[in-house]
Amino acid sequence: MPTWSMLYMQDSASPMMEELSYFHDFTMIIISMITMLVGLNMLFMYKYKMSNRFLVQNQTTEILWTILPVFILLMIASPSLKALYLLDDPFSPSITIKATGHQWYWAYEYSDFPDLEFTSYMIPEVDLTENSNRLLETDNSVVIPFNTPIRMITTGGDVIHSWTVPSLGVKADAVPGRLNQMMFSIKRPGVFYGQCSEICGANHSFMPIKLESVPMKTFINWVELSE
């Protein structure tokens, strides 16, 4: 059942998404203040029948209208540059995973572990169990230890796809013949979902992404069972 909370972004599960959420909220406050200021100014002019001479022919007002936007842009630029740096923070990854987009499924390779690779197909609606998420469940999940630096490398096997997980704040195109990379770390255990965000054909909406964040010990056990 949809709720009002679903209109907002998903709960952040990584430091990058936290920074993006903060930047979104901060910018929305500034936009709201600008909208209120302009609206009150128009209302004031309409109520007191003031002409445009007060706005375009008054030297003090013109200086204010010029300097104020500069300070607003500087206020927005500071958290924006910080968020951009975190999105491309070149830290040393502990685990590297390669995601290859195909029509219409994902294939994964764990570069640090030999012979650990698998495909991930969406589970049909008729095979879903109770409390499963329609169009989001997969037969194989990407298992990742939390609080661990992860490097995800993306490429395409046929057409352009896009590997996206909103709660982690990560999105990278999977382009055939090209490798893109993104760095992230998950700060808490749980299951996180994403989907291909590039229109890649008829079944574009049927290639979901499912990540399971687990403790390191559980991850090691999963690797030993999967190899």
Say which DSSP state 206 is in. Answer: G
Q: Does domain 12-87 have CATH number 1.10.287.90?
A: yes
CB 195 within 8 A of CB 105: no
Quote the pTM value. 0.81
Model confidence pLDDT, tens digit, residues 15-55: 888 888 888 889 999 999 989 988 887 787 777 666 555 55
Phi, psi of 153 (to 5 degrees): -105, 130
Domain parsing of the chain, residue ranges: 12-87, 95-226
Domain formed by 95-226, architecture: Sandwich (2.60)
Model confidence pLDDT, tens digit, residues 196-225: 999 999 999 999 999 999 999 999 999 988
Here the tokens at position 24 are 């979104």
Say which DSSP state 189 is in. Answer: -
